[in-house]
C-alpha cells in the first residue's frame, strides 16, 4: 500500500504537468483546476483515435471531462471537423467550454446519451470503472464529485453496461465504438461479459500490458461482418 501511495503521488505530478501534456496531446492545456489531465486509458485511447479517426468523421467523446483532452486532441492534432464532447457533470462541461472558446467543439452536459442527438462514425469513452463498493473508491475519491466522475457503479461496470446498451442507436452505419478501461481496476471478465451481453462485437483490442489500460474497438455485429 505504501508503494502504491508513492506511485500515486509521483504519477499525479506527471499527469498534471502542462509541458508533458503538450508533448503528448499537441496543445497547451487550461490550468489543472480539476486534478490531473489524463490517465493511462486516455493514452491508449489517444493511440486508438490515431488509428481509427479520419478528419471527415463525426466523433463523440463521451465523458470528455474538464479538459476535453480527447476531443481537443481529435480536433487540434487529428484535424477532425466534427467533434462533440459530452459529460454528465455540469461543472466539468462549463470548464471545458470556458477554456475552449474557439475550437468549434460542441460541448453538451448529458448523462450518457440523454441529451445527444444525431449519429457518429466514432464514439469514444474513457469509462468510469472503479467499483462503487471497493475500498479503493473511498481512498482515491473522497468527494462526491470525484466518485461521480470515476466510479462505474456496482462491480465498476454498470455505466459501461448502460453505454453498451444505448450507444448503437447513435452510431452511423459501419461506425465504431472505442471503449477504454483499465484492467488494474476493473476485471477483464466483467467487462468482456458486458460486451458479450450487449450483442456488440469486439473487432480489435489495444492493450498496454504494463499500465493495464485497454481499449475495445466495437461494432454492431451486422457491420462487423462487412
Ligand atoms: C476516466 S474520466 C475520462 C476523462 C477524459 N475523457 C480522459 O480520457 O482523460 C471519465 C469521465 O466520464 C464522465 N462520466 C462518468 N459517467 C458518465 C455518464 N453517465 N455520462 C456522461 N459522462 C460520464 C466523468 O464525469 C469523467 O469526466
Cα(67)–Cα(49) distance, integer angstroms: 17
Burial class (CB in 10 A: 0-12, 13-18, 19+), 75: buried
pLDDT single digits (tens) 43-63: 999 999 999 999 999 999 999
pLDDT single digits (tens) 112-135: 999 999 999 999 999 998 887 775
Pocket test for ligand 1, best of 11, 47, 87, 148 (most atoms within 8 A of CB): 87
User: Does 29 contact ligand 1 (Cβ within 6 A)?
Assistant: no
pLDDT single digits (tens) 200-213: 999 999 999 999 99
User: Does 89 contact ligand 1 (Cβ within 6 A)?
Assistant: yes
Structural domains for the chain: 2-224 (3.40.50.150)
SS3 of residue 69 by DSSP: helix
SS3 of residue 43 by DSSP: helix
User: Does 213 contact ligand 1 (Cβ within 6 A)?
Assistant: no
pLDDT grade for 155, boundaries at 50, 70 and 90: confident
Residue 85: closest CA among 95, 129, 194: 95
Whether 61 contacts 38, CB under 8 Å: no
SS3 of residue 82 by DSSP: strand
Cell numbers for 212, please give them.
493495464
Distance 9 CA to ligand 1 centre (A): 22
Amino acid at each position: 500500500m505504501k508503494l502504491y501511495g508513492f506511485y500515486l503521488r509521483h504519477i499525479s505530478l506527471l499527469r498534471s504537468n502542462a509541458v508533458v501534456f503538450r508533448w503528448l496531446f499537441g496543445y497547451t492545456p487550461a490550468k489543472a483546476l480539476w486534478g490531473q489531465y489524463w490517465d493511462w486509458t486516455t493514452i491508449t485511447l489517444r493511440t486508438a483515435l490515431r488509428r481509427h479517426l479520419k478528419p471527415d468523421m463525426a466523433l463523440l467523446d463521451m465523458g470528455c471531462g474538464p479538459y476535453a483532452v480527447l476531443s481537443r486532441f481529435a480536433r487540434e492534432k487529428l484535424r477532425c471537423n466534427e467533434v462533440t464532447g459530452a459529460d454528465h457533470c455540469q461543472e466539468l462541461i462549463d470548464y471545458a467550454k470556458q477554456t475552449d472558446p474557439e475550437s468549434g467543439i460542441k460541448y453538451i452536459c448529458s448523462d450518457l446519451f440523454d441529451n445527444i442527438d444525431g449519429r457518429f462514425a466514432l464514439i469514444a469513452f474513457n469509462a468510469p470503472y472503479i467499483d462503487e463498493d471497493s475500498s479503493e473508491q473511498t481512498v482515491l475519491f473522497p468527494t462526491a464529485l470525484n466518485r461521480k466522475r470515476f466510479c462505474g457503479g456496482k462491480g465498476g461496470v454498470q455505466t459501461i453496461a448502460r453505454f453498451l446498451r444505448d450507444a448503437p442507436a447513435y452510431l452511423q452505419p459501419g461506425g465504431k465504438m472505442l471503449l477504454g478501461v483499465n484492467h488494474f481496476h476493473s476485471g477483464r471478465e466483467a467487462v468482456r461479459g458486458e460486451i458479450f451481453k450487449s450483442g456488440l462485437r469486439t473487432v480489435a483490442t489495444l492493450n498496454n500490458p504494463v499500465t493495464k489500460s485497454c481499449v475495445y474497438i466495437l461494432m454492431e455485429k451486422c457491420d462487423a461482418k462487412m
